[in-house]
Amino acid sequence: MLVRADIFIFYIVWITMAQLLAQEEKEKTTALKDLLSRIDLDELMKKDEPPLIFPKTLEEFEYTFNEHGQLRHTTTGDPFVFNYKEDLHRWNQKRYEALGEIITQYVYECLEKDCKLRKEMLPVDATEDEPKSFIYLSEDALTNADKLLVLIQGSGVVRVGQWARRLIINEDLNSGTQIPFINRAMKEGYGVIVLNPNENFLEVEKVPEAEQSAPDTSDEPAEKRERKEEREGKKKKDFYEKYRNPQKERETERIPIRENSSPEEHTLYVWDHFISKSLAENIFVVAHSYGGLSFVELLIQREDEVKSHVSAVAMTDSVHNVWHQEANRSIQEWLKERCCNWVSSSEPLDTPVDPMLPDCLRLSAGTERHELTSWKSFHSIFKFFDKHLEQQMEDDVAEEEPSTTVTTRGSNRAKHEDL
């Protein structure tokens, strides 16, 4: 009996210890889950992250554009390296974005100094204090009575004069900017207007609200509460000790630019205040990606005006959709006659591609890379415009030529016989 009693007591002690251990593990698990629920996994990637402070000029970045328009390191001559610091993707991305902002300013300088374009502020009647945007125009953009070229980029971080930031950084200025289109157009006698559809708001630093401490409504004695808070704080500190406090980025708010708060709004605004006022007999449009959607929206909003002014539209991998945008039948027919969309495809350049929707001719841009479609179809686009110009000239001549046919009794008799 004594042995059985010992065994019984052992079992009781063992079960009690197991329950205590289980309870302790449960508490640890609960505490761990609680801590993990407060952790953003992205924040963990900021471990040991250098300060988010980057150079302000290309020279400070130690990069420059060579004679071929390629971005190269001033010392090594190597292309841009994204992974400047291993295992710090967020920091590398911020560095890339900082370089992108510098390149945006560089392109502005090229548009003004090399292409001789002038900046026009928007809205045209903006007050001194309100947010503003701008576009670029050639000196003869509104007075050229012959031809006008309008350039509309896609969506994203790119600004006026750019097709794709990635191409500018990793390829060259020719493929990534609109500069080749501008230079060729001006050489061939076009006026030029370059839209800026992604400059839709002014970003300002948000004023943080004053942190208000919650009133102490606890009935616990102050000493006991302090000990409890100290224990909780130690647990958190122990858990986070191997992670440094993440860098806080400044909080910002966006103030929309009047009548230019979206790409569609911007395109409509520039049409109303600039393009429609141009004296050009023939207006041509190049619209990339979301720019194609913005143009179709403009066509819907100003159908008669656009049809009477625009001779042809070259789209590059446009994302427009005549059904979703509710374009009527006459608009769809006009697009079939006046528009061509060079799309990303593995087929050779200018190979017809089956249309997804009954809107306009689709040709291969000769590349499967979306951002390269504008540059790859560069020469084809100007041939397309020339073809429409020739057709327009033939139509004008046909209208101006007086009729030289002499009506005779025999011709009338033949006409009636044919009937």
Tens of pLDDT, residues 378-390: 999 999 999 999 9
Give the span between the Cα atoms of 281 and 309, in whole angstroms: 7
Q: How is residue 133 written in tokens?
A: 């945007």
CA distance 113 to 136: 12
Q: How many CA atoms lie within 13 A of 72 on its CB side?
A: 11
| Predicted local distance difference test score (pLDDT) of residue 176 | 98
Among candidate residues 289, 45, 46, the one with its CA nearest the CA of residue 155: 289
Residue 39's pLDDT band (cuts 50, 70, 90): low
CA-atom Rg of the chain in angstroms: 33
CB atoms within 10 A of CB 358: 12
Q: Is the pLDDT of residue 188 over 80?
A: yes
What CA–CA distance (Å, rounded) separates 114 from 131?
Answer: 28
Using DSSP's 3-state secondary structure scheme, residue 166 falls into helix
Tokens describing residue 257: 């630019």
Report the pLDDT value the prediction gives residue 239, as an integer from 0 to 100: 45
In this predicted model, what pLDDT tens digit does every residue of 202-233 receive, in sequence order? 988 777 665 444 444 455 565 656 666 666 66
294 versus 396: which is more confidently predicted? 294
Compute how many other C-beta atoms are within 10 angstroms of the C-beta atom of residue 164: 26
Separation in Å, CA 290 to CA 123, 260, 318, 352: 22, 15, 6, 22
Task: Answer for the pair 80, 58: CB distance below 8 angstroms, yes or no.
Answer: no
pLDDT at 227: 66
pLDDT of residue 200: 96
Nearest to 299 by CA among 338, 260, 261: 338
Token pair 């023939």 is at which residue?
282
pLDDT over 90 (residue 14): no
pLDDT band at 49 (very low <50, low <70, confident <90, very high): confident
Beta-bridge partners for 356: none
343 has pLDDT over 60: yes
Under a CB-based contact definition with an 8 Å cutoff, are residues 362 and 341 in contact? Answer: yes
Query: Looking up tokens 């609960």, which residue turns up?
Result: 30
pLDDT digits (tens, 9 = 90+) for 134-163: 999 999 999 999 999 999 999 999 999 999
Least trusted range by pLDDT, from 319-328, 330-339, 365-374, 399-408? 399-408
Rounded to whole angstroms, the Cα distance separating 62 from 74 reads: 5
Q: What is the pLDDT of residues 291-314, one digit of tens each?
A: 999 999 999 999 999 999 999 999
Helix (H, G, I), strand (E, B) or coil at 110: helix
Q: Are 71 and 63 in contact (CB under 8 A)?
A: yes
> Of residues 31 and 294, which shows the higher confidence score?
294
**pLDDT score of 236:** 52
Mean pLDDT of 44-52: 66
284: closest CA among 320, 309, 318, 317?
309
Indicate whether 243 pLDDT > 50.
no
Average pLDDT for 345-353: 96
pLDDT band at 414 (very low <50, low <70, confident <90, very high): very low
The Cα 402–Cα 382 span in angstroms is 32
Could you tell me if 133 and 190 are in contact, meaning their C-beta atoms sit under 8 angstroms apart? no
Confidence grade of residue 259 (pLDDT, cut at 50, 70, 90): very high
Asked if pLDDT for residue 340 goes beyond 80, the answer is yes
What is the C-alpha separation between 336 and 333, in angstroms, rounded?
A: 5
How far apart CA 97 and CA 240 sit, in angstroms, is 29
Residue 108 confidence (pLDDT) above 90:
yes
Query: Could you give the residue numbers annotated as active site?
Result: 289
3-state secondary structure of 204: strand
Q: Is 285 exposed, middle or buried (0-12, 13-18, 19+ CB in 10 A)?
A: buried
Q: Distance between CA atoms of 350 and 364, rounded to whole angstroms?
A: 5
pLDDT at 46 over 60: no
Percentage of residues of the chain with pLDDT beyond 70: 73
Cα–Cα distance, 246 to 244 (Å, whole number): 6
Residue 86 is predicted with a pLDDT of 80
Of 85-94, 132-141, 264-273, minimum mean pLDDT range:
85-94
Question: Model's pTM, two decimal places?
Answer: 0.76
pLDDT score, position 225: 62
In Å, what is the CA distance from 138 to each residue of 33, 120, 290, 308, 379? 62, 10, 24, 22, 21
**Cα–Cα distance measured from residue 381 to residue 383, given in angstroms and rounded to the nearest whole number:** 5
**How far is Cα 289 from Cα 294, in angstroms, rounded to an integer?**
9
pLDDT of the residue at 11: 61
- Does pLDDT of 269 surpass 70? yes
pLDDT in the model for residue 162: 98
For residues 242-258, give the mean pLDDT: 69
The domains of the chain are located at 44-114, 118-202+255-398
What does pLDDT average to over the chain?
84
Give the bridge partners for 121, in sequence order. Answer: 134
What is the CATH code of the structural domain delimited by 118-202+255-398?
3.40.50.1820
pLDDT for position 307: 97
List of E strands, 317-395: 339-343, 361-364
